[in-house]
A = this chain, B = another copy of it.
Amino acid sequence: MIMKTPRKPSSNRVLLENRILRAAERAFATKGFSGTSMESVADSAGISKQNLIYYFSSKEALYHKVLQVILDLWVEKMVFSDDENASPKQVIESYIIEKLALSRDYPDASKVFAHEIINGAPVLKDYMVSHLKPQFERDVLLVKRWIAKGLIDPVEPEHLFFTIWASTQTYADFSIQIQLLMGKTKLEADDFDVAAKFLSNFVLKALGAQSD
């Protein structure tokens, strides 16, 4: 029996797909799904609209792929704790620092995600329940154990996470507001360092977990 061996994707194709995905991410981030036209993405990627459609057969498919790439990146980078014995201070501090690094390095990804959530998570709803919720519940349990052990003061762990997420992502999603209010043309690495220090201190102190 003869099996056709499908040609491996040319490196050119991989490169072009990445270029398209970056262009699409930027477009979706700044204009939303409806505000983004296939033609504008194609232009940004330097190809024709019809050629874009050859690579991604529909706008939905393109959007789904952009979301998937974002989630892969986030899931890969955003583990709250893989070490049961790490101290709350270590875990929270590095979590905040890494979250802020994502806001700094992938602001468009954060904005696409924000759009999706604000719009009611039409695409991600199922994924959130099936993947993010279990992870969330594990992390909540860990925080509860910290509380039970007296390592941090008692708080509602769920709201702790909502606060950390919101206050780290705001440096990506609402960066224009922060820039305008601080009189800057853009947020520099330095601004993120200050924010990381502020937030780490802030959260650790609020949790009574200053010392290690």
Chain A interface residues (CB < 8 Å from chain B): 29-35, 111, 114-115, 117-121, 125, 128-129, 132-133, 136, 153, 155-156, 158-160, 162-163, 165-167, 169-171, 173-174, 176-178, 180-183, 194-195, 198-199, 201-203, 205-206, 208
A198 to chain B, nearest CB (A): 4
Residue in B33, B125, B163 whose beta carbon sits within 8 Å of that of A167 in the complex: B163
Most chain B CB within a 10 A radius of its CB, from A166, A198, A203: A166
- Is the pair A165, B155 in contact by a Cβ cutoff of 8 Å? no
Residue in B111, B133, B159, B202 whose beta carbon sits within 8 Å of that of A163 in the complex: B202
- Is the pair B31, A177 in contact by a Cβ cutoff of 8 Å? no
- Is the pair A118, B111 in contact by a Cβ cutoff of 8 Å? yes
A181 to B132, CA, bound (A): 8
Most chain B CB within a 10 A radius of its CB, from A111, A177, A178: A177
- Chain B residue, CB-CB nearest to A33: B35
A159 to B206, CA, bound (A): 15
A170 to chain B, nearest CB (A): 4
Known: A32-B34, A117-B177, A206-B206. 14 other contacts (CB 8 A): A29-B118, A30-B119, A32-B119, A117-B176, A128-B181, A129-B180, A158-B181, A159-B194, A160-B198, A162-B170, A163-B198, A167-B167, A202-B206, A203-B206
- Is the pair A159, B195 in contact by a Cβ cutoff of 8 Å? yes
Q: Which residues of B contact A33 (CB under 8 A)?
A: 32, 35
Q: Which residues of B contact A160 (CB under 8 A)?
A: 198, 202
A159 to B180, CA, bound (A): 14
A208 to B206, CA, bound (A): 8
